[in-house]
Amino acid sequence: MGNKNTRTSISELGEFGLIDRLTQNFTTKNGSTIKGVGDDAAILEYREKQVVISTDLLTEGVHFNLMYVPLKHLGYKAVAVNLSDICAMNATPRQITVSIALSGKFSVEAVEELYSGIQLACEKYQVDLVGGDTTSSLTGLTISITAVGEVEKDEIVYRSGAKPNDLLCVSGDLGGAYMGLQLLERENEVFKVNENMQPQLVGYDYILERQLKPEPRADIISTFRKLGIKPSSMIDISDGLSSEAMHLCKSSGVGCNLFEDKIPMDFQTKKMAEELSINPLVAALNGGEDYELLFTVPLDDYEKIKNDPDFTIIGHMTEASEGINLVTAAGSAIPLQAQGWNHGAAK
């Protein structure tokens, strides 16, 4: 990428010159990409498969803070959160488009750093960049990414297929991204008071990475195929476990019992929560941005998943009349409340 000691104004290159410079190192990896960047529109060909499309918008000051989010990490994360939505449909991501709005504070080199993260994600997940747009902004940075994936028609998984007695399962662990964010916010506040104070981040690499460089669980889709499993319903955990569980229940017309003591959390998550006097359960239920997969499978699939280290069975689905409940470690059933990220709430 560009020399970090130089600062090239975007106006020196112009819109098309900037796009050419940003996309020159991207290569095509998928046969479904007939024409990528370089024409008026991309051309994709999927033949017999279903096409899955998702889009997401990230805005500076709302979704990210450049005081502590490196541009390369931001580029990677912007791709990852979109690929996660494709995976939540039991599909394989294949292409993305990237559109950005930039204020005058960003140099060409800064945007190249952003795109280096985008390229890293594309390489890791074998996804093609096939188009996008750039424009100016009066304030800050906005990134819009659209992801395209493919899936066999009979392999698509919706939110609406869960049945009573299905097992409620989750991949990975939860709450880490939220606690990583709390750590970054704490150190940012310290920096505002004393710019000479070094951030206290040692020993928390895992939760910092969960916040700054999340990974979509494309590997889980492969695991499903290997184990001969097709979830009855699925959603990715972007807004918090409680919110996503309620989405599955509402879409499927069922209730659920979610067991507090079954929710998987990493040691660093619990340690940071204790340090900040936060209940780790709150981080797991309401924090969001974990980008793990929450899914249901028929009870008959129990033997297939019970020993897989990627999965934790955290509850089961019930009749809708039984409600959506969190079952405490003491055995009490409490109606689950969705308090995750609300995109429409005032900041």
Alpha helices in the chain (DSSP H): 10-23, 71-87, 108-124, 176-193, 205-212, 218-227, 241-252, 267-275, 280-286, 302-305
The stretch 107-122 carries a mean pLDDT of 96
Is the pLDDT at 19 greater than 90, yes or no?
Answer: no
Q: CA 112, CA 83: separation in Å to the nearest integer?
A: 21
Confidence of residue 224 (pLDDT cuts 50, 70, 90): very high
Contact 35, 129 (CB under 8 A): no
Instruction: Tell me if 44 sits within 8 A of 167, measured CB to CB.
Output: no
Give the pTM.
0.90
Cβ atoms < 10 Å from Cβ of 144: 18
Q: Which two tokens stand for residue 277?
A: 């006097």
Count of Cβ atoms closer than 10 Å to residue 75 Cβ: 26
Q: Which of 182, 177, 201, 185 is nearest to 68 (CA)?
A: 185
State which of 26-30, 58-62, 167-171, 304-308 shows the largest mean pLDDT: 167-171
Is 347 a residue whose pLDDT tops 70? Answer: no
Can you read off the two tokens belonging to residue 12?
């020196």
Backbone angles phi, psi at 136, to 5 degrees: -90, 155
Domains, in order of start, for the chain: 10-155 (3.30.1330.10), 167-335 (3.90.650.10)
Q: Cβ–Cβ contacts within 10 Å for residue 301, how many?
A: 19
Taking only the tens place, the pLDDT of each residue in 202-223 is 889 999 999 999 999 999 999 9
Supply 65's token pair: 């803070």
CA atoms within 13 A on the CB side of 156: 14
pLDDT of 15: 65
Q: If you average pLDDT over residues 7-30, what whole number do you get?
A: 76
Q: Are 144 and 221 in contact (CB under 8 A)?
A: no
Q: Backbone phi, then psi, for 96, in 5-degree steps?
A: -140, 155
Q: What is the pLDDT of residue 340?
A: 52
